[in-house]
Amino acid sequence: MTFYFQRIAGAATYALSRFRSLEERLGIAVFTFALLFAMNQQIHAHEFKLGELEIIHPWSRETPNGAKVAAGYVKIVNHGKQADKLIAASGTIASKTEIHEMSVDSSGVMTMRPVESVEIPAGGEVELKPGSYHIMFMGLTDPKKKGDKFSGSLTFERAGKIEVEFSVEAMGGAHQKKNAHGAHGG
């Protein structure tokens, strides 16, 4: 990636030297920053394609020492004309995996339950995220720390199975603002 950054920075410097007016130089500088920013986003938000499905940034939260479970999250966009369903998931960190749904009961208590599937509507998207649907990695065999990656898979009723890579993010990261999963560390 550094290579590309250098190339872009080099090209921008060259372009800047050719344009005289401040407006032109500013325009190029802004464009360059926008481009670098976009590339940086790309690096952090890894993506996978499976048929009409776009699988965006599978990630998992770093777990405290001794934790037995970890939660996995991912955003799925369905560009197709037919609904699909996430029916299974796996990860190399766990011996067993379920799909869970978090919800708040009438007394305001967070509960979670296993679900058979998560529907991804035609032309729509679903985000598995803290406080909502998540992949529950159970019986952790190989806990990971922030910055690590592990491989896993997602299986869809129509589109089939795809191998993905989960990136492990910090316990207190930006994603955790809506965390309501503290009870089991996921």
Show the binding pattern over residues 118-137: x = contacts Cu ion (CB under 5 A), - = does not.
------------------x-
CA dihedral (54, 176, 181, 61) positive or negative: positive
Distance of closest approach, residue 91 Cβ to Cu ion, in angstroms:
13
Q: Which residue, 12 or 154, has its beta carbon nearer to Cu ion? A: 154
Find the binder of Cu ion among 86, 112, 118, 120 (CB under 5 A): 112
Produce one character per residue of 164-185: b if its CB has 16 or more CB atoms within 10 Å, e if not: bebbbbeeeeeebeebbbeeeb
Q: Which residue, 8 or 110, has its beta carbon nearer to Cu ion? A: 110
Q: Does 70 bind Cu ion (CB under 5 A)?
A: no
Inter-axis angle of helices 2-18 and 22-44, to 10 degrees?
170
Q: Please choose, from the candidates 58, 127, 122, the residue with its C-alpha nearest in 3D space to the C-alpha of residue 93.
A: 58
Q: Does 100 bind Cu ion (CB under 5 A)?
A: yes
Q: Taking CB positions, which residue lies at the least distance from Cu ion?
A: 100
Residues that bind Cu ion (CB under 5 A): 100, 112, 136
